[in-house]
């Protein structure tokens, strides 16, 4: 697992495309598009109001540290869920949009593989459960830490806004949908394996990389050999023209 600052996926892969056999694409529809950018800022207001009201009980040090520290801890919660599912994490990227305030402050990129619908929902919801719901419950039972726990809960509520919008969007995924991070599919014929072809170029521009994966009986494996189908031939032609590469 690598940690990067000020880089996003386009830095690692100038182009990345997938095509598949025995699977149908499930288009991603963002049902929260209109409120996506403004919502985290609106949800930060309760944290400020809470701090103003309870600042006598809260040491300033706690308040000044919890804001920046909450970001890596939040990302570690996503990472923890990947590990619990037996998945590796390829990288955590902090400030992927530099200092553009309307984009995500950080994200976790799991290594290529598959999540079921409910694993995907939990992947997005995990920091909300651990850093918003859990501290709110603990605040009831631990009066000495009540203000600190409630402030953490509120700050992470704002930090989880985009995650919770993704959770909402994911509820519309079909029940048997397979989520691969960059795309989602449904299986056409359950008795046959799903074959995924991953094509990409790296920043080294050392040609077109082609990898093949199989999903069968709940197991996801990378195959040693690759072959072409009409879609991979079409994509390779597109890559070659776009980057002046040899196929
Ligand atoms: Zn998150």
For 87-110, how does the pLDDT look when each residue is reduced to its tens digit (9 = 90+)?
Answer: 999 999 999 887 666 677 899 999
Q: How confident is the model at residue 34 (pLDDT cuts 50, 70, 90)?
A: confident
150-195: pLDDT as tens digits: 999 999 998 899 899 999 999 999 998 999 999 999 999 999 999 9
Kindly give the distance from the C-alpha atom of residue 206 to the centroid of ligand 1, in angstroms, as a whole number.
33
Kindly give the distance from the C-alpha atom of residue 39 to the centroid of ligand 1, in angstroms, as a whole number.
14
Domain limits, the chain: 35-173
The arrangement of strands across the sheet holding 209-216 comes to: 15-21, 194-201, 209-216, 219-223
> What 3-state class would DSSP assign to 216?
strand
Evaluate if residue 60 carries a pLDDT over 80: no
Kindly give the distance from the C-alpha atom of residue 48 to the centroid of ligand 1, in angstroms, as a whole number.
21
Is the CB of residue 21 less than 8 Å from the CB of residue 212? no
Evaluate if residue 57 carries a pLDDT over 90: no
Q: In whole numbers, what is the pLDDT of the chain averaged over residues? A: 91
Evaluate if residue 246 carries a pLDDT over 70: no
Kindly give the distance from the C-alpha atom of residue 71 to the centroid of ligand 1, in angstroms, as a whole number.
9
Kindly give the distance from the C-alpha atom of residue 163 to the centroid of ligand 1, in angstroms, as a whole number.
5
Q: Return the pLDDT at 125.
A: 97
Per-residue buried b or exposed e for 128-142, using 16+ beta carbons within 10 Å of the residue's own CB = bebbbeebbeebeee
Kindly give the distance from the C-alpha atom of residue 236 to the centroid of ligand 1, in angstroms, as a whole number.
34
CB atoms within 5 A of ion ligand 1 belong to 163
Whole-prediction pTM: 0.90
Between the alpha carbon of residue 239 and those of residues 17, 112, 202, the distances in Å are 9, 21, 12
Q: Return the pLDDT at 118.
A: 94
Is the CB of residue 149 less than 8 Å from the CB of residue 136? yes
Kindly give the distance from the C-alpha atom of residue 233 to the centroid of ligand 1, in angstroms, as a whole number.
37
Kindly give the distance from the C-alpha atom of residue 223 to the centroid of ligand 1, in angstroms, as a whole number.
31
Which position has the higher pLDDT, 136 or 38? 136
Kindly give the distance from the C-alpha atom of residue 103 to the centroid of ligand 1, in angstroms, as a whole number.
12
Strand partners, 113: none
Is the CB of residue 74 less than 8 Å from the CB of residue 156? yes
Percentage of the chain exceeding pLDDT 90: 68
Q: Return the pLDDT at 231.
A: 97
Kindly give the distance from the C-alpha atom of residue 13 to the centroid of ligand 1, in angstroms, as a whole number.
22
Percentage of the chain exceeding pLDDT 70: 98
- The closest of 69, 97, 104, 112 to 5, measured between CA atoms, is 97
């Amino acid at each position: 697992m690598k940690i990067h600052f000020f880089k996003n996926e386009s830095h690692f892969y100038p182009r990345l495309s997938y095509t598949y056999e025995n699977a149908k694409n499930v288009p991603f529809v963002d049902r929260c598009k209109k409120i996506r950018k403004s919502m985290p800022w609106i949800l930060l207001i309760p944290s400020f109001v809470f701090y103003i009201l309870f600042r006598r009980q809260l040491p300033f040090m706690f308040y000044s540290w919890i804001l920046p520290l909450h970001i890596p801890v939040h990302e570690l919660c996503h990472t923890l869920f990947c590990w619990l599912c037996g998945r590796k994490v390829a990288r955590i990227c902090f400030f992927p949009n530099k200092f553009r305030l309307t984009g995500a402050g950080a994200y976790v990129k799991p290594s290529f593989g598959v999540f079921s619908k409910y694993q995907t929902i939990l992947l997005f919801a995990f920091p909300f459960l651990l850093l918003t719901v859990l501290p709110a419950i603990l605040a009831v039972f631990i009066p000495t830490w009540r203000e600190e726990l409630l402030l953490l809960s509120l700050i992470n509520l704002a930090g989880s806004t985009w995650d919770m919008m993704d959770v909402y969007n994911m509820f519309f995924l079909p029940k048997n949908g397979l989520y691969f991070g960059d795309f989602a599919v449904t299986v056409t014929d359950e008795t046959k394996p799903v074959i995924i072809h991953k094509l990409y170029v790296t920043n080294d521009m050392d040609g077109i990389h082609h990898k093949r994966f199989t999903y069968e009986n709940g197991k996801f494996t990378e195959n040693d050999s690759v072959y072409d189908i009409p879609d991979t031939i079409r994509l390779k032609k597109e890559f070659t023209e776009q980057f002046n590469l040899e196929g």
